Amino acid sequence: MFAAVLPPFCHPAVEKHLKADILTLSIEARMTGPAMAARAIYSVLTNRSPMHLSIRSAGFPAGTTVQDGVIMTNILRNSFLSTAVSAAILSAGAASAATLAEIKESGTVRVAVANEIPYGYMDMSGEAKGAGPDVARHVFEQMGIDDIEWTSTNFSSLIPGLRADRFDVAAAEMAVLPDRCQSVIYSEPNSSYGEGLLVAAGNPKDLHGYDAFADNDGKVAIMAGADQLEMLQKLGVPEDRMVTIASNADAISTVSTGRADAYAATSLTVSELAAKDDGVESAGSFEDPVIDGAEVRSWGAFAFASDSTELRDAFNEELTKFKETDEWREILSGYGFSEADIEGSGQRTTQELCDSSS
């Protein structure tokens, strides 16, 4: 299929990745619509950092790279790639995930993070850190799998990436939500966490909760693919008051420059971001959102492709044992999870969360 639809401009360094990327984008288009898939093209290509990929076609001069901000417009206008993506969107489906036996035979498992501190991220030396990666290392070691191939991607690309078989597991402490359970399967929860709000220093708009944006004309930023979108929608916040950003890395500048009045994220993420820049802070006296009569708390787990049941079950077996140890508790507390967060991780099962209507 791909030989027929790949555009003729492919540089050798791009070609082997683009096949998987087109499948990823086609899945994302089915999940989020063509507009989101189009925006994801630029994101997927630029995620090749630090590799600088050259792109050539009749529309691109020699030396054009994905670092050029105008590449998005040019790509979408290019008939070859437009045809390729359109064909892939119409014909591609989810790829088959690697089996547990195949992973054990190769001795390598592919694990993705979304560069969110403290959940799962790559440090300056390229080492995967966070509650997800640290726990995953132990679990896979107990499963007899010692080699982990780490991948960093945008949060919104985690589920499409699993479905396209770009990686085997997402170790991002992704919240277990009913809609997501339709696309991937989860381990039992590894963590729990509440919400927070990043605001400009001094909190000039006096913001203390998500519901404030339902009652005034301020703007709140959210990360693409994050579950804060659904929370805000249920609280009655109009979409024109939401600003979508690609990753947490954009949050500080988005708030400090006034593009948005606040950034809605988990309490741990907000605290981490606030510590990085004097121009922002965590909103004091924050009031957790109340939806359908209950305060919102999220449960983070490891995500797997829908047909990776055997891998998920084997992972769950070792995770359950590990959660009974002091070492597991020390990992989570070391990344800032409170005692309530740690104890709360066992309050709900994945099945309960997937079946929940709230």
b/e for 86-100, b at 16 or more Cβ within 10 A? ebbbeebebbebbeb
Element (H, E) at 298: strand 298-305
| Nearest one of 269, 293, 298, 297 to 283, comparing CA atoms | 269
pLDDT tens for residues 192-212? 998 989 999 999 999 999 999
Q: Which residues pair with 175 in a beta bridge?
A: 300
By the 8 A CB rule, do 147 and 109 touch? Answer: yes
Residue 297 is classified by DSSP as -
Rounded CA gap, 41 and 64, in Å? 16
Q: List Cα–Cα distances, 358 to 188, 220, 236, 299, in angstroms.
A: 18, 22, 15, 13
If you search the block for the tokens 């690609």, which residue do you land on?
246
Q: Which long-range contacts (CB under 8 A, 24 or more apart) does 9-17 make?
A: 9/55, 9/56, 9/57, 9/58, 9/60, 9/78, 9/80, 9/81, 11/53, 11/54, 11/55, 11/56, 13/51, 13/53, 13/54, 14/53, 14/54, 14/55, 17/48
What's the confidence (pLDDT) of residue 19?
45
Instruction: Concatenate the DSSP letters of all residues of 40-94 into one string.
Output: HHHHHHHTTTTS--B--BTTB-TT-BTTSTTHHHHHHH-HHHHHHHHHHHHH--P
Rounded CA gap, 260 and 237, in Å? 14
By the 8 A CB rule, do 197 and 283 touch? Answer: yes
What's the confidence (pLDDT) of residue 302?
98
Rounded CA gap, 26 and 37, in Å? 7
Q: List Cα–Cα distances, 10 to 61, 75, 310, 335, in angstroms.
A: 13, 12, 37, 42
Rounded CA gap, 26 and 41, in Å? 10
What's the confidence (pLDDT) of residue 39?
43
Three-class SS state of 198: strand
Rounded CA gap, 103 and 147, in Å? 10
pTM > 0.75: yes or no: no
Strand pairing category for 147-152 and 191-193 = unpaired
**CA angle 129-133-139, nearest 5°?**
145
Residue 219 is classified by DSSP as -
pLDDT by position in tens, the chain (length 358): 333 334 444 444 444 444 454 444 444 444 444 444 444 444 444 443 333 333 323 333 333 333 333 333 333 334 344 444 434 433 445 567 889 999 999 999 999 999 898 999 999 999 999 999 999 999 999 999 999 999 999 999 999 999 999 999 999 999 999 999 999 999 999 999 989 899 999 999 999 999 999 988 899 999 988 889 989 999 999 999 999 998 888 999 999 999 999 999 988 899 889 988 999 999 988 888 888 888 888 999 999 999 999 999 999 999 999 999 999 999 999 998 888 889 889 999 999 999 986 4
Burial of 213: CB neighbours in 10 Å, binned 0-12, 13-18, 19+: buried
Three-class SS state of 197: strand
How many Cβ atoms from other residues are within 10 Å of residue 352's Cβ? 12
